[in-house]
Chains A and B, each alone.
Chain A
Amino acid sequence: ETNTAAKDEL
């Protein structure tokens, strides 16, 4: 499933 955006990435 599409997870939330890659906010934990730089």
Chain B
Amino acid sequence: MNIFRFLGDISHLSAIIILLLKIWKSRSCAGISGKSQLLFAIVFTTRYLDLFTNFISFYNTSMKVVYVASSYATVWMIYSKFKATYDGNHDTFRVEFLIVPTAILSFLVNHDFTPLEILWTFSIYLESVAILPQLFMVSKTGEAETITSHYLFALGIYRTLYLFNWIWRYQFEEFFDLIAIVAGLVQTVLYCDFFYLYITKVLKGKKLSLPA
């Protein structure tokens, strides 16, 4: 464990908590893409199948449980509890264009052709593009609530910090995983446009508005 990975996990956890609280407190999922949350639930499910078979540490196991539980709780709130506030007309990204190519790629490019490894690889590839429906929805509605932009910032920063974690691990642990690194780079690049708007607008107290 190193400071970058720890801060990354904290940032990821806070993003998940921010979103949960936003929906629960405001009893509304307006502006939130249910499709992205569905993809995140798939990402955590396919990545943490070894949750009960491969104990790494209490921290690792407890964080995985929290991630999986909160992603399902978020999906449940969007599609069930507060579905009346779900803005389906703006959440129109074709997720099959994300799921199918990443599934095929995980069969072609992986570290080991075993079910668990392929599912892990699929979850890494899918996570790198899972935010697209949400970013697409924000660009379609032309703006996002400030709390939603904080959620997106925390979520984007987490994988950016993981990039530094991989540099650290390469330097000091002679360790690197090209699949995770390349997917993490793609994931971070997708946020660049949003990061720019967040830093130039939201941090100056303005509302986040994307050019529609």
Q: Which residues of A contact B (CB under 8 A)?
A: 1-10
Contact = CB atoms under 8 A, between A and B. Distances in A.
A7 B49 CA distance: 11
Contact of A10 (B63, B173, B174, B177): B63
Contacts, number: 38
25 contacts: A1-B174, A2-B176, A2-B177, A3-B173, A3-B174, A3-B176, A3-B177, A4-B177, A5-B112, A5-B120, A5-B121, A5-B179, A6-B166, A6-B180, A7-B50, A7-B54, A7-B56, A9-B5, A9-B162, A9-B165, A9-B180, A10-B9, A10-B12, A10-B60, A10-B63
A8 to B, nearest CB: 5
Interface of B: 5, 9, 12, 50, 54, 56, 60, 63-64, 67, 111-112, 117, 120-121, 162, 165-166, 173-180
B180 A4 contact: no
A6 B168 CA distance: 13
Given A3-B176, A5-B120, 13 more contacts: A2-B176, A3-B173, A3-B175, A3-B177, A4-B111, A4-B177, A6-B180, A7-B50, A8-B56, A8-B60, A9-B5, A9-B162, A9-B180
Interface of A is mostly: loop
A5 B130 CA distance: 21
A5 to B, nearest CB: 5
Contact of A2 (B12, B166, B178): B178
Contacts of A9: 5, 162, 165, 180
